[in-house]
Structure 1
Amino acid sequence: MNPSSPSSFSACTNADLHSHSKVSDGTLEPEALAARAQANGVELWALTDHDEIGGQQRAMDAALALGISYLTGCEISVSFAGRVVHIVGLGFDHHNEALVAGLRATRGGREARAREMAAGLAQVGIKGAYEGALHYVGNPELISRTHFARFLVEAGHCQDVSEVFRRYLTLGKPGYVEHRWAALRDALAWIHGAGGIAVIAHPGRYDFTPTEEYALFTDFIGHGGRAVEVVTGSHTAAEAAKYTETALEFGLLASRGSDFHSPTESHTDLGKLPDLSGRLTPVWQALDARIQRPS
């Protein structure tokens, strides 16, 4: 990583540290995402593909060429309290062997899971779902529910992706198949071993009880986790306010990211989020030495 000059990034910086490309389940290539980020005024960007860092160099090169500062990123799926929780890693060495191997192991089994999902959909009369989903996959190792959802919409089985997840592919619905994800401690060990900081992604999405959520935060901190997404595309203003207080209560750094996947599917566009509260310490300030800046 290049040494950095004193940070010019504040809590009001237009940082977008959560987005997805076609390398996982987004619809745009990393270069197109970088161009969209620049057009929307993003000053500091991270590509955080699911369980995959294969697009990092492309994203970094494109961002720097466009005058955008860049942090490496990834969103890792972990199992916690019977749910899938997402942990964003930021500012790591994307060539770190343990991280690369850990993510490869996490991706393993997705094809078998996808075929089981297709079989479940076939039982309710939806044929060819596996082959249909593959048309939307940029990386076959990362075939996911999102790709199946796009197929179901395109094939006319549902009006939109939201309807897909109301009718299919979720617990108790046709096509749902559980996947064994990484353990929280392992995901954090990979991120920290590669020099990065771990962030709890969009905590408002998990529907935990207060006791379960407290357990998540305390376990996360116990394994060295240091930050939480406060402002994100799926959080309401009330949730952003709630997790502002949670960050302060637990002494966590705060992150900000749209969770952008697609121009037609995402609730929030790249770089179009409210600012973090000035009461919070942004995660990017702790990662200042890891930020790649345009020359």
Structure 2
Amino acid sequence: MSDAINADLHCHSLVSDGTLAPAVLARRARDNGVQLWALTDHDELGGLAEAAQACAEIGLDFVTGVEVSVSVDDQTVHVVGLGVDPSHEGLRTQLRAMSEGRDARAHRIAEALREHTGVEDAYAGASRLAGNPALISRTHFARHLVERGVCSNTGEVFSRFLTPGKPGYVEHAWATLEQALGWIQDAGGLAVLAHPGRYRFTPQRERELLTRFVDLGGTGIEVVTGSHSAADWRKYAALAGEFGLRASRGSDFHCPRESRCDLGRLPALPQGLRPIWDLLH
């Protein structure tokens, strides 16, 4: 495939913390000119069958995916698995265990928000907004606090309450980098480091992370994504070349009202990179 195709290999449905059904996302992607699309819900495979069926009906090339939450130092890092087998029992088992941990964390977030905002029903409200009751995320709490009038938008909720150092943030131990890459590879997928420009690593620690990622068999890095600036595109294009990583592209679309970038609306990859999608078909 050409590096100029409109590939969108990172987005979320209501099965995790998006707001649209997988089939609706598929049609939105097709209508926005996407030629190759992946659904990559957080730690969840439950939307892939619906997405695949919808893509078959509308003639859109589809790639199975998942976004695995990883703990690195004191940060949560995300690794996208592309081309995973949704029926792989090892991957399914590990993701189920992570969902159980999410629920316990959600109860702790609700209690912290009750103490600092006075909102008594934060868990129930977030649960109501979650399309998948097994996966209640910070985003669902943010939407509930907007509904309750505590903040005007979800970005404000995150900045005031739900990021590290804020009163509603609850630390959680996710998978290790080694575990996440092992699960993805065992399920036949390619591991891609998601939106690296979002993390708060020093330049030295970022390079150490990339070295470790490559040593563990990581294949790609998101160069063009919804949260990256033009400067980020240039930086991670250079790092992709330096570390021998394939370049990926994805909007990280969650919701028409909240997302920085709609499906299929990203610029093309910078020239000279090796696209990850050449390994997917």
TM-score, normalised relative to structure 1 = 0.93
In the alignment, the residues of structure 2 paired with residue 55 and residue 280 of structure 1 have an alpha-carbon distance, to the nearest angstrom, of: 30
In the alignment, the residues of structure 1 paired with residue 260 and residue 199 of structure 2 have an alpha-carbon distance, to the nearest angstrom, of: 17
Shift of 1:278: 2.4
Q: Show the counterpart of 1:3.
A: none
In the alignment, the residues of structure 1 paired with residue 280 and residue 165 of structure 2 have an alpha-carbon distance, to the nearest angstrom, of: 41
1:183 is aligned with what amino acid?
A: T
Q: Show the counterpart of 1:233.
A: 226
Q: Show the counterpart of 1:285.
A: 278
| Residues 179-218 of structure 1 aligned to structure 2 (within 5 Å) | 179-218=172-211
Higher RCO, 1 vs 2 (CA within 8 Å, ≥6 residues apart): 1
Residue 167 (str. 1) matches residue 160 (str. 2): yes
Shift of 1:172: 2.1
Aligned length: 280
In the alignment, the residues of structure 1 paired with residue 115 and residue 87 of structure 2 have an alpha-carbon distance, to the nearest angstrom, of: 43
Shift of 1:179: 1.4
1:15 is aligned with what amino acid?
A: A
For residue 23 of structure 2, the aligned residue among 10, 24, 31 is: 31
Shift of 1:274: 0.4
Determine if contact 2:126/2:143 at 8 Å carries over to the other structure. Answer: yes
In the alignment, the residues of structure 1 paired with residue 73 and residue 219 of structure 2 have an alpha-carbon distance, to the nearest angstrom, of: 20
In the alignment, the residues of structure 2 paired with residue 64 and residue 232 of structure 1 have an alpha-carbon distance, to the nearest angstrom, of: 25
TM-score, normalised relative to structure 2 = 0.98
Determine if contact 1:198/1:227 at 8 Å carries over to the other structure. Answer: yes
Q: Show the counterpart of 1:293.
A: none
In the alignment, the residues of structure 2 paired with residue 116 and residue 193 of structure 1 have an alpha-carbon distance, to the nearest angstrom, of: 33
1:149 is aligned with what amino acid?
A: A
For residue 235 of structure 2, the aligned residue among 242, 247, 258 is: 242
In the alignment, the residues of structure 1 paired with residue 103 and residue 187 of structure 2 have an alpha-carbon distance, to the nearest angstrom, of: 28
Residue 128 (str. 1) matches residue 121 (str. 2): yes
Partner secondary structure for residue 69 of structure 2: strand
Q: Any idea what the Cα deviations from partners look like across 1:17-69, whole Å, max 9, x if unmatched? A: 00000000000000100010011000000000000001111101101211100
Percent identity, aligned pairs only, is 57
Q: Show the counterpart of 1:72.
A: 64
Q: Any idea what the Cα deviations from partners look like across 1:118-141, whole Å, max 9, x if unmatched? A: 111111222211111112101111
Q: Any idea what the Cα deviations from partners look like across 1:84-139, whole Å, max 9, x if unmatched? A: 00000001111111111111122222121111111111112222111111121011
Show structure 2 runs of 5+ residues with no match. Answer: none
In the alignment, the residues of structure 2 paired with residue 256 and residue 170 of structure 1 have an alpha-carbon distance, to the nearest angstrom, of: 25
In the alignment, the residues of structure 2 paired with residue 40 and residue 120 of structure 1 have an alpha-carbon distance, to the nearest angstrom, of: 40
Show structure 1 runs of 5+ residues with no match. Answer: 1-8, 289-295
In the alignment, the residues of structure 2 paired with residue 244 and residue 236 of structure 1 have an alpha-carbon distance, to the nearest angstrom, of: 12
For residue 106 of structure 2, the aligned residue among 97, 114, 118 is: 114
| Residues 9-48 of structure 1 aligned to structure 2 (within 5 Å) | 9-48=1-40
In the alignment, the residues of structure 1 paired with residue 206 and residue 7 of structure 2 have an alpha-carbon distance, to the nearest angstrom, of: 26
Residue 157 (str. 1) matches residue 150 (str. 2): yes
Determine if contact 1:81/1:212 at 8 Å carries over to the other structure. Answer: no
